[in-house]
A and B are shown apart, each in its own frame.
Chain A
Amino acid sequence: GQQLNQSPQSMFIQEGEDVSMNCTSSSIFNTWLWYKQDPGEGPVLLIALYKAGELTSNGRLTAQFGITRKDSFLNISASIPSDVGIYFCAGQNTNAGKSTFGDGTTLTVKP
């Protein structure tokens, strides 16, 4: 089946620094999604991307849908302690909402 490679696996940064993580796939997706999961909770949708090349922002978060439709990246600017968590990318190809998830990037922000 389709697999998503997400990197880096983990990041340790200082508060105020910018963060960048990405997701690549061996096959194309029609929709790319970025989620954040706090410990013991379900994922929460951060940004959804629908078109190749699309660049979308949500506050300090910016994500882009790669031109080849096989990759996406997420940037977080001026990180704060509450950004701590696991960030997942997900790709969709159907209209039924079924998603393939990446392995996640664990972000730790030191105050």
Chain B
Amino acid sequence: GAVVSQHPSWVICKSGTSVKIECRSLDFQATTMFWYRQFPKQSLMLMATSNEGSKATYEQGVEKDKFLINHASLTLSTLTVTSAHPEDSSFYICSAVLAGGVVHEQFFGPGTRLTVL
């Protein structure tokens, strides 16, 4: 149980285009999902907290107009990288917190590798 999927697993796009990444909790409901960014050989940097039915909370330094987050249901959150540039190339990972579960338990997706040409 507690499986989180991400789609796509990898994407290559041209500079200036927008890319949408989906994060789904497959067998549980998640009121909260987190979006992270990870550069090679570095740690996970929290970008934003996504709460179902409300606006996302962004970490300092993360442009909310650049990284649009929508948490439309208890099983789906999306991250849209708008007008992508090469510096947005990274590994994006989401996690979902089990609604009503032990508060710390966030389950991670497998990640999406974005390459912007």
Contacts and interface: CB of A to CB of B under 8 A. Distances in A.
Interface of A: 1, 31, 33, 35, 40-45, 48, 88, 92, 95-104, 106
A35 to B, nearest CB: 8
9 contacts: A31-B104, A40-B111, A41-B110, A42-B6, A97-B32, A97-B34, A99-B106, A103-B42, A106-B41
B49 interface: yes
Contact of B43 (A1, A42, A88): A88
Contacts of B32: 96-97
B93 interface: yes
Nearest to A38: B110
Given A88-B44, A101-B44, A42 B104 contact: no
B95 A42 contact: yes
A98 B43 contact: no
Contacts of B68: none
Contact of A42 (B45, B103, B111): B111
Most buried by B among A41, A45, A88, A96: A96
Given A42-B93, A96-B103, A103 B43 contact: yes
Contacts of B104: 31, 33, 48, 92, 97, 99
Q: Which are the 10 A-B pairs with shortest beta-carbon distances?
A: A42-B108, A97-B97, A95-B103, A97-B106, A103-B43, A101-B43, A101-B44, A42-B93, A43-B108, A42-B110
Chain B: number of interface residues, binned into ranges = 20 to 34
Contacts of B93: 42-43
B113 A98 contact: no
Contacts of A48: 104-105
Contacts of B41: 106
A97 B111 contact: no
Contacts of A42: 4, 6, 93, 95, 108-111
